[in-house]
Amino acid sequence: MADSVVLAYSGGLDTSVLVGWLMDKGYDVHCLYVDLGQPCEDIEAILQKALDIGAKTSIAIDVQEELCRDFAFPVLQWQAKYENIYLLGTSIARPLISKIVLQRAREVGAVAYVHGATGKGNDQCRFQLAAEALDPKVKVIAPWRMDEFRELFPGRSEMLEYCEEKNIPVKATASKPYSSDENCLHISYEAGDLEDPNVDGIPIIDFGMTVSPQEAPDQEALVKIGFESGVPTSVNGTTMGAAEIVKALNQLGGENGVGRIDIVENRFVGMKSRGVYEAPGMTCLYAAHQALEQLTVDRDAAHFRDRLSPEVAEMVYNGFWYCAKMDALMAFINQLQQPVTGEVTLGLYKGNVRIVGRTSPNSLYDEAIASMEAADEADYSQNDAEGFLRILGVPLRVQGKARPRNY
């Protein structure tokens, strides 16, 4: 009886080749398509293709709600952006994929988890670190890190020849000018012609979620987003599930050109890479969430979170999701978010997002104290600022006497 493996299967050229290659190695192959809300794919056709190649089983598991609720929204609460710009749409999904693949491996008695990530990319780290955290004894097969696989398939043309020989149906017959990865959070574009950081990506890329800001409507669109304890719960007054909220905002943001970025980022494995991303829904949620926090989270707590946020982004980007440090950080952010309840109205216009209004029953904003107009000074007397500043200035005055500065 042949050993079984579970392949994280997308139906593209690489994972289609892997089905045949694993069979050639003597394995029974169980293909698992993890449905993350990829907007441009025919899942039934993809699953049937795996069976036609010879896979033992081929199934899809829908995890869109879990992806948004349990992975994307906690990262949103951290306001985590890798290198201050990337919203981590691909990174967030990888530990969930590993979790679902391992669950399937347990069901079918598989001896290994197989993925098609390359040995130069970040995804190999995210897949494997998550898998080993969940199952310390897991065996991971990563063909792109194996000499025998790369010798057999040094390039795309050899993979296409293999597919022709094995009667494996593939759409591609020539190299695309870039590669892409998609889920309901975002679509990423990289490699190919985009590897030149001086090449304008807009004329090359067929964007799947957004129109260009130049083609967006000439009138601002308004959208109201509701939150409860930092979790998005409604759009324009309608209560929705997590994935439904993201998709609704993808539509509204995308048609107004919101959410495109172009970044040269530092990969975990050491090199720089250029990526173009579009994440219209999450861009709207980040802006709305931050605006509501400005009302409801006190200064010291907000500033402390902001110092930790880049650390969280880096952990997510590098693949350290299932670890004690992340568990502790998530417990902290869950507590911090308790008062972050209310509604924020955004204006979307030609790629821009602005805050139109925000309201919360837990608002810390006190107009009577903050106002520059004459007001009751019981809570804040401007005279008190004299002594406050004299005390703050003590070390500065001492330093100024001891070490005079030229000015």
E strand or H helix at 202, and its extent? none
Q: Is 106 annotated as a binding-site member?
A: no
CB atoms within 10 A of CB 2: 12
Torsion sign across C-alpha atoms 322, 324, 326, 329 = positive
Query: Any catalytic annotation for residue 94?
Result: yes
Q: Is 233 annotated as a binding-site member?
A: no
Distances from the Cα of 218 to the Cα of 224, 256, 350, angstroms: 20, 9, 7
* 254 exposure class (CB count in 10 Å sphere: 0-12, 13-18, 19+): buried
Q: Is 208 annotated as a binding-site member?
A: no
Query: Any catalytic annotation for residue 14?
Result: yes
Q: Report the C-alpha gap between 145 and 151 in whole angstroms.
A: 11
Q: Is 145 annotated as a binding-site member?
A: no
Q: Is 57 annotated as a binding-site member?
A: no
Q: Is 8 annotated as a binding-site member?
A: yes
Q: Is 283 annotated as a binding-site member?
A: no
- By residue count, the chain amounts to 407
C-alpha of 22 from chain center: 30
β-pairing, 112-114 with 4-8?
A: parallel
The catalytically annotated residue of 28, 104, 123, 309 is 123
Torsion sign across C-alpha atoms 262, 265, 268, 270 = positive
Query: Any catalytic annotation for residue 123?
Result: yes
**What DSSP letter does each residue of 321-387 carry, written as one string?**
-SSHHHHHHHHHHHHHTTT--EEEEEEEETTEEEEEEEE-TT----HHHH-SS----SS--TTHHHH
Q: Is 118 annotated as a binding-site member?
A: yes
Task: Return the structure tokens found at 120.
Answer: 């130069």
Q: Is 151 annotated as a binding-site member?
A: no
Q: Is 13 annotated as a binding-site member?
A: yes
The catalytically annotated residue of 28, 58, 94, 180 is 94
Q: Is 277 annotated as a binding-site member?
A: yes
Q: Is 9 annotated as a binding-site member?
A: yes
Instruction: Look at residues 352, 348, 358 and name the one whose alpha carbon lies nearest to residue 225.
Output: 358
Q: Is 334 annotated as a binding-site member?
A: no
Distances from the Cα of 192 to the Cα of 49, 89, 155, 195, 201, angstroms: 26, 21, 13, 6, 11
Q: In the beta sheet, which residues pair with residue 37? A: none
Query: Any catalytic annotation for residue 179?
Result: yes
Whose tokens are 């943001």? That residue is 253
Q: Is 16 annotated as a binding-site member?
A: yes
274-294 in b/e form (b: 16+ CB < 10 A) is bbbbbbbbbbbbbbbbbbbbb
The catalytically annotated residue of 175, 179, 234, 363 is 179
Q: Is 265 annotated as a binding-site member?
A: yes
Q: Is 175 annotated as a binding-site member?
A: no
β-pairing, 238-239 with 260-266?
A: unpaired
**What are the binding residues for ATP?**
8-16, 116
**What are the binding residues for L-aspartate?**
118, 122-123
**What are the binding residues for L-citrulline?**
86, 91, 122, 126, 179, 188, 265, 277
Q: Which residue numbers are catalytic?
A: 14, 94, 123, 179
**What are the binding residues?**
8-16, 86, 91, 116, 118, 122-123, 126, 179, 188, 265, 277
